[in-house]
Amino acid sequence: MADLPDLGVRTLALSSYDVGAFFYGQFAPSFRKWPSPVHEIRELGCICFYATEHPSRKPRVKMKVAELVEKWRVAVVALAVAHDKDEADRAEASMEDLLTPILAAPCDQIRQFAALLAMQLKNDPGVPYLVWRAFEVWQVQMDKAPDEAVKELKEGLAREIVEMVEGDAKAQLPEAMVRALMWRSPEKLTEVKEVVASEKAAGRGVRLKGRESCLFLEAGGTEEEPAVCVQV
């Protein structure tokens, strides 16, 4: 992989969680050429989502590196080799909580985190080669990348956009959700229906959660561990 000198260590870390999943899916069937421009644009979109810098006077917030590494290890592997879409959705839903500490962590901690995660993935015999090797190569880029200021998510700007499109979205949301859900297995849809019916009977509604560029329909269980978690 060529060096990425224009990207800071924080941006590379924030866009690293699906590197293993991509390479495992891209090259597992046969070793093909480097990803297409379409893939690069998709990655650029992920990076740009986090690319607005907070003023440099914003204090760094230390993270619990070992604890975060273990959570990332589980999510990175699940995103690559999840047995079904339900497992993949739950891994995807966890990523906002796993990305948030990196937004404001000191850059030396981000490098420490990346190196430790790369080592743990490599040393775990249950992690496919194409997953740990892809992350190991990406980690080298993080190690060489320059320090980067704290990043802040622009909630205000996002809210302005939502207010502009809210009317149109409300009218189209039911049909859009139908088209997203109908691709699920009959067993999964039956499970969702049963949980939602039970929650409604108990006077509780479902929850539509926005996390790291995705929407999830959740019902039952708790906020941390919903009984149903479906990406829509």
Question: pLDDT by residue (tens digit) across 92-141?
Answer: 888 888 888 888 888 899 899 999 999 999 999 988 888 888 888 888 88
Confidence at residue 23, expressed as pLDDT on a 0 to 100 scale: 59
β pairing state of 207-211 and 214-219: antiparallel
All structural domains of the chain with their residue ranges = 9-144, 156-231
Contact in structure between 3 and 144 (CB atoms under 8 Å): yes
Contact in structure between 43 and 141 (CB atoms under 8 Å): no
Share of the chain above pLDDT 70, in %: 77
Question: pLDDT by residue (tens digit) across 35-47?
Answer: 433 343 344 444 4
Contact in structure between 94 and 223 (CB atoms under 8 Å): no
Burial of 142 per CB tally in 10 Å (0-12, 13-18, 19+): buried
Q: Is the pLDDT of residue 58 over 70?
A: no
CA 179-94-106 angle, to 5 degrees, is 135
Confidence at residue 161, expressed as pLDDT on a 0 to 100 scale: 82
